[in-house]
Structure 1
Amino acid sequence: MLRGLLVPILLSCVCLTAGCDSGGETVERDTGTTEGAAAQDHKESVSLSLSADELEWVGRRIFRNECAGKYRCLVHWNDGEAFPSLGIGHFIWYPRDVDGRFIESFPPLIQYMSEQQVSVPQWLQELDPFDAPWPDKAGFAKEEDSYQVIELREFLATTQGFQAEFIFRRAQAALTRIVMAAPEERREQIREDLASLSSTPGGIYALMDYVNFKGEGLSATEQYHGQGWGLLQVLLAMESASNTTPLEQFRDAAAQILTRRANNAENPVEKERWLEGWLKRLMTYREPDGLNASE
């Protein structure tokens, strides 16, 4: 059975017509939150809407951010990490007996694909429990050119559209939880900022990528010194300015939050190596100049 369940997502207002070493973790939804109460208040909802071409563009951007668009990187194990990262979103997959700080996302991705009737490799279907079959990076290195890994890379290369849909749906599901988790006096402003960001492809890309990249900001385990670095923290740090767009304000706030995270981290690698890449990634949060494959 797959570890972790994909929360049912309300998409009645969403138009989705898709054909079907980043130096940082990719995260799935935070656990321990409740959608029921939020779902009862439609006012709390913010919807995302992308055309098929726009969703494809976002998927390409995320793949470039995580893997520089490299095929081999679709199944990869970063130095210093206790888990492999897979797919265009570098979805985390923990080996058996590894319980890391960051939220696991590959099992829910495979569950989502199975629900969409995607043909999943047989050996993945037969895993029980659904843990990464390599115990560590050294074990993975010995198997990196095995039939299983080659088949998994090919599977992930040919299902990029479904992976982009999964990231889209995860971001959509996160927004109501994030609004409800904010201090009550800030909720209306955050809702307005989300509405502004979700009104353009570049803003939706920023929301999708950031949730996939650094999470919602709701998990108590994803904090240093009591300070998180997810989407909620970025929205709380946004400052309105008449001479900047909401997307520019989001980019500036994200840079502030990620710099704070690197400064708070015990491991100096975050500040010395990873922060520069994170900040460069944020600079891609712009409106598309067309939606061609070279962007």
Structure 2
Amino acid sequence: MPNKLLIILLLFPTLCNGIEISSHAATIVGHKIWKNECGGKVEALTTWNEGEEFASIGIGHFIWYPKGYEGPFDEQFPKLLQYFENEGVSLPLWLKNSKECPWTSRECFNNDLKENKLTKLRLILLNTVDLQVNFMVNKLSSLLPRLLAASPEQDHDLIKARFARVLESDAGIYAILDYINFKGDGTNPSERYDGKGWGLLQVLQTMDDCNDAIDDFVTAGKKVLNTRIERAPPERNEGRWMKGWYNRLDTYLDTSLTS
């Protein structure tokens, strides 16, 4: 392992700074993530889940908080809207003028599902699957400094090596993008239960390097999510989601960009 670790560490800067994905591959990965988050349904591109305080938008169900609400999870949809604008996507005026979610509750949101604003938003999202994936890929190049800054120095080499191992595997880019989108990168201190996080960082820290990289990643992910369930506030009843969470991780085992 020491020699292999050294080789991976030497390759790591190239891997992270040169991550690219073709439009075709991005579309494939995007549809896999869309299936995980939305069941592949167009109507599910704009959702407000029961028991949650925010809307979930796009193939990755990017979090969108109501105006004035500050939640514990990383809000990504306003950043995606800005990326769309940078890439020349035409947005309606109501999204250009404010990136905040104009609906204040699930009830208000659902009442407008078939109205003009959300119908047009779903059409934009349907036509930008590859751009939504590129948005996620672009964030990978700035990920390492955040992971290292949020972890003990003695973990740095292992975090780099494990990230590279997963990324180099057939399903690696899908697994990493999907997990970050699913449960975050693990660096946000507000995304903790009793001091324990559940993002990519925590999965990398939990891997044991004994098996195939993706097998190892999935096993570690299940351990991390089980810890989250055990530490979650009882009123959230997060155990109800365990089977679905585990099934999602299992898709990393038999999925590649060519399948």
- Give the TM-score normalised by the residue count of structure 1: 0.78
Paired residue for 2:232, among 246, 254, 265?
Answer: 265
Give SS of 1:227's match.
coil
Structure 2 counterpart of 1:90, from 36, 61, 64: 61
1:43-82 mapped onto 2 (5 Å cutoff): 46-47=15-16, 48-82=19-53
Query: SS where residue 75 of structure 2 aligns?
Result: coil
1:196-235, aligned counterparts within 5 Å? 196-235=165-204
Which residue identity lines up with residue 265 of structure 1 in the other structure? A
By percentage of residues, which structure has more helix?
2
Partner of 2:85: 114
Give 2:134's aligned residue.
Answer: 165
Contact 2:23–2:130 (CA<8 Å) still a contact in 1? no
SS at match of 2:168: coil
Asked whether the 8 Å contact 2:28–2:257 carries over to 1, the reply is no
Change (3 A) 1:187 1:44: farther
Closer, same or farther in 2 for the Cα pair 1:289/1:46, shift >3 Å? closer
Q: Tell me the residue number matched to 2:123.
A: 154
Q: Which has the higher contact order (CA 8 A, sep 6+)?
A: 1
Return the letter of the residue paired with 2:95: L
Q: Report the identity percentage.
A: 36
Q: How many residues align?
A: 247
Which of 77, 85, 101 is equivalent to 2:72?
101
| Helix, strand or coil at the partner of 1:66 | helix
Aligned-partner Cα distance in 2 for 1:188–1:286: 25
The aligned residue for residue 255 of structure 1 is: 222
- Is 2:153 the counterpart of 1:184? yes
Partner Cα separation in structure 1 for residue 84 and residue 126 of structure 2: 14
Q: Decide whether aligned partners of structure 1 residues 175 and 131 sit closer, same or farther in structure 2, where only a CA change above 3 A counts.
A: same
Question: Which residue in the other structure is 1:281 paired with?
Answer: 248
> Is the aligned partner of 1:145 residue 2:114?
yes
Give a deviation string over 1:48-105, Cα, whole Å, max 9, x none. 3433333222111110100010000001110011111100010111111211111111
Task: Return 5+ residue gaps in structure 1 as ranges.
Answer: 1-41
State the shift of 1:194 in Å: 1.2
Shift of 1:279: 0.6
Check whether the contact 1:53–1:291 (CA below 8 A) recurs between aligned residues. Answer: no
CA shift digits 1:13-45 (9 cap, x unpaired): xxxxxxxxxxxxxxxxxxxxxxxxxxxxx9767
Separation in structure 2 between the aligned mates of residue 98 and residue 158 of structure 1, nearest angstrom: 29
CA shift for structure 1 position 200: 2.9
Aligned partner letter, 1:85: S
Contact 1:44 1:191 in 2 (8 A): no
- Ranges of 4+ aligned residues in structure 1 off by more than 4 Å: 42-46
* Per-residue deviation, residues 238-291 of structure 1 (Å, max 9, x unmatched): 0021xx201110110000000000010013554431111111100011353663
Q: CA deviation at 1:46?
A: 4.5
Change in 2 beyond 3 A, CA 1:81/1:45: farther
Distance in 2, matches of 1:256 and 1:178, equals: 19
Contact 1:78 1:84 (8 Å CA) reproduced:
yes
Give distance in 1, aligned partners of 2:85 and 2:234. 38
Alpha-carbon shift at residue 204 of structure 1 (Å): 1.4
